[in-house]
Amino acid sequence: MSAIERVTGKEKPDRLRIENRFWEKVDHDSKSDDECWQWTASTDRDGYGRFKIDENNCKAHRVALALDDGEIKRLDEFGIVRHSCDNPACCNPAHLREGTQKDNMRDMSERGRASNQTLDAEDAREIKQRYRDEDITQYELADEFNVKQGSIAAIINEHSFKHVD
């Protein structure tokens, strides 16, 4: 059983069509295994490639790992698929590995990437005040504070830092 069959449960003609359609959207032909293989189709707000299999909208890097590894599980059985290159649009299986959310958070910390843990009460107070008083978007604030937009939304909607005015 091929990886795409495990991914989709589809018979061979459909599997091959999906696999061919997927790799057509990845810039990898002239690249080595050391380089990122960039997803060239649609991405989400965080830069992760999006690929549709039937009615399922999948993250492209997860599909890339499934297509590469003959022993891989179905997409819905994966844990977190992590990028060693920190490039969300990368689909190079050599840069991808399965892990846990704890592994992913450790990667973020070791590499100095954004997380809610980098914000303190003073930051939250400033974020709330500026969002209320200025013509500034959550995405602009996220860029300034080096966090994801979801972290800003959690502060503004008081899912985190509720005690801060």
For 3-110, CATH gives: 3.90.75
At residue 7, the pLDDT reads 54
Q: Considering the chain, tell me which residue range(s) the CATH 3.90.75 domain(s) occupy.
A: 3-110
What is the rounded distance in angstroms from the CA atom of residue 91 to the CA atom of residue 49? 8
Contacts of 37 (CB under 8 A, 6+ apart): 26, 27, 28, 31, 64, 90, 91, 92
pLDDT of residue 71: 45
**So what's the pLDDT on residue 76?**
65
pLDDT along the chain (165 residues), means of 10: 52 71 90 91 90 86 81 63 90 91 76 64 91 92 83 87 83
Q: Name the E strands within 28-95.
A: 38-39, 50-53, 56-59, 80-83
The helix/strand/coil state of 39 is strand
Residue 92, SS3? coil
pLDDT at 10: 56
pLDDT given for residue 72 in this prediction: 43
Residues 31, 37: contact at Cβ < 8 Å? yes
Calpha distance 110→151 (Å, rounded) = 19
Q: What is the pLDDT of residue 12?
A: 59
Give pLDDT, residue 3. 47
